[in-house]
């Protein structure tokens, strides 16, 4: 697409540092404003934003910083918890970050003191963490995916204690399991690797081994036992977390696969970027993409479905020396419906209800509104 078709960002918000990652909360927090978090080299900023498309009295975008969380190390990924609420007292802000030191940090704040919060560290990954996600119905579990060939789980409720020769779940104190039954329930799937459980304090973990670096992980919006895991070698698998077995797999047919996403408004659709191309699957029809097209000459980096429209999605190219390319696509159109560019952009996220996406950059957030 020629350069004269490049659209400037619809809105921008200034930041104090380079933005490595940015995430809209995908959950209803009980407030008219949407929650957004972005991470830099040392901190995470959580804010509330509203746009003139939501309130005609707003000029462009209104962004209010709610709290700055001192992180101490570069932020690589952010995931929001569905337990975040602003319409009840005490208010709850809860999210998890992945950092350059290969650790996960769970943050909780009631917004009463902008300088105080609860933070817990989870360790276990041995390489770069590419993505993490909360279980979307209750927020009691989190999955993370890494270059260390593992997908790991932190379980906030299901903490198991050894009591003699039995195991006891603190979610149902009256229920006891034999060690044989627990081992049978937790035995691994096709890779035949051991599983481990960690609670929120890092005491235990569950993980299963992948065949190549893991790049993306997505939870089914309604079924807490279904998980999508994408690997760099081009394979996307759907796991049943009860049996720890893969129940379905997709093949991109090319490498490296850099990002995949589950269309949460229509879960038969899966999208990804591999090499220079984007591709779409209908999981009820074939394990190979039904549609595939070139996207970025400099290789594609991110793929994200819109949460407002099931046929709308965005892709980004690899960050260049000066600018990064954003393309917004619609399945009914042969060409991108919008092209944008941001100064050394990073991250990609969609608004929960508007056809609006955001990427981070050098001391700015860039927002693009797509005409529906």
Burial class (CB in 10 A: 0-12, 13-18, 19+), 248: middle
In a domain, 54, yes or no: yes
Tell me the average pLDDT across 150-162.
53
Q: What is the pLDDT of residue 41?
A: 94
In a domain, 98, yes or no: yes
In a domain, 138, yes or no: no
Q: From 134, 12, 120, select the one nearest 61 (Cα to Cα).
A: 12
In this predicted structure, the answer to whether residue 184 has a pLDDT above a threshold of 90 is no
Tell me the average pLDDT across 328-344.
93
Express each pLDDT in 249-308 by its tens digit.
999 999 999 999 999 999 999 999 999 999 999 999 999 999 999 999 989 999 999 999
In this predicted structure, the answer to whether residue 173 has a pLDDT above a threshold of 80 is no
Percent of the chain, pLDDT > 70?
A: 84
Does 318 or 175 have the greater pLDDT score? Answer: 318
Q: What is the pLDDT of residue 4?
A: 55
Express each pLDDT in 295-315 by its tens digit.
999 899 999 999 999 999 999
Express each pLDDT in 7-47 by its tens digit.
999 999 999 999 999 999 999 999 999 999 999 999 999 99
In this predicted structure, the answer to whether residue 162 has a pLDDT above a threshold of 70 is no
| pLDDT confidence band for 142 (50 / 70 / 90) | confident
Q: What is the pLDDT of residue 241?
A: 83
Contact present, 320 and 339 (Cβ < 8 Å)? no
- Domain of residue 103: give its range: 7-122+316-323+340-372
d(CA 336, CA 313) in angstroms, rounded, equals 10
Q: From 154, 155, 177, 158, select the one nearest 167 (Cα to Cα).
A: 177
Q: What is the pLDDT of residue 321?
A: 62
Q: How many separate domains does the chain show?
A: 1
Q: What is the pLDDT of residue 152?
A: 79
Tell me the average pLDDT across 81-108.
95
Q: From 197, 162, 198, 199, select the one nearest 178 (Cα to Cα).
A: 162
In a domain, 228, yes or no: no
In a domain, 221, yes or no: no
In a domain, 60, yes or no: yes
d(CA 89, CA 247) in angstroms, rounded, equals 42
| pLDDT confidence band for 371 (50 / 70 / 90) | confident
Residues in the chain: 372
In a domain, 87, yes or no: yes
Tell me the average pLDDT across 178-198.
32
In a domain, 199, yes or no: no
Q: In sequence order, which residues have a C-beta less than 8 Å from that of residue 27 and are 6 or more positions away? A: 80, 81, 82, 84, 136, 352
């Amino acid at each position: 697409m020629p350069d004269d078709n490049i659209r400037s960002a619809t809105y921008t918000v200034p930041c104090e540092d380079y933005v490595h990652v940015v995430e809209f909360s995908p959950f209803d927090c009980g407030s008219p404003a949407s929650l957004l978090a972005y991470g830099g080299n040392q901190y995470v900023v959580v804010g509330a934003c509203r746009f003139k498309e939501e309130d005609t009295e707003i000029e462009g975008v209104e962004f209010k910083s709610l709290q700055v969380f001192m992180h101490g190390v570069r932020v690589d990924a952010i995931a929001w918890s569905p337990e975040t609420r602003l319409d009840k007292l005490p208010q709850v802000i809860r999210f998890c970050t992945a950092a350059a030191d290969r650790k996960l940090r769970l943050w909780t704040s009631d917004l009463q003191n902008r300088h105080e919060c609860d933070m817990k560290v989870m360790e276990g990954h041995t390489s770069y963490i590419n993505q993490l996600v909360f279980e979307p119905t209750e927020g009691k579990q989190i999955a993370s995916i890494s270059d260390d060939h593992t997908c790991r789980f932190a379980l906030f409720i299901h903490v198991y204690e050894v009591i003699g020769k039995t195991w006891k779940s603190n979610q149902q104190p009256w229920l006891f399991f034999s060690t044989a039954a627990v081992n049978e329930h937790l035995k691994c799937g096709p890779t035949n690797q051991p599983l481990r459980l960690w609670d929120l304090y890092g005491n235990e973990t569950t993980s299963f081994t992948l065949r190549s670096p893991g790049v993306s992980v997505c939870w089914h919006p309604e079924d807490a036992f279904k998980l999508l895991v994408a690997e760099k070698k081009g394979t996307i698998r759907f796991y049943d977390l009860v049996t720890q077995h893969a129940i379905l797999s997709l093949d991109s047919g090319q490498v490296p696969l850099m990002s995949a996403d589950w269309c949460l408004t229509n879960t038969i659709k899966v999208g990804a970027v591999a090499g220079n191309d984007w591709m779409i699957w209908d999981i009820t029809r074939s394990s190979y993409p039904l549609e595939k097209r070139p996207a970025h000459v400099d290789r594609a980096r991110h793929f994200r479905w819109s949460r407002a429209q099931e046929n709308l999605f965005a892709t980004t190219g690899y960050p260049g020396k000066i600018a990064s390319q954003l393309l917004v696509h619609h399945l009914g159109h042969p060409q991108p419906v919008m092209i944008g560019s941001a100064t050394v952009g990073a991250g990609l996220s969609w608004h929960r209800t508007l056809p609006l996406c955001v990427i981070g950059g050098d001391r700015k957030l860039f927002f693009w509104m797509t005409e529906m």
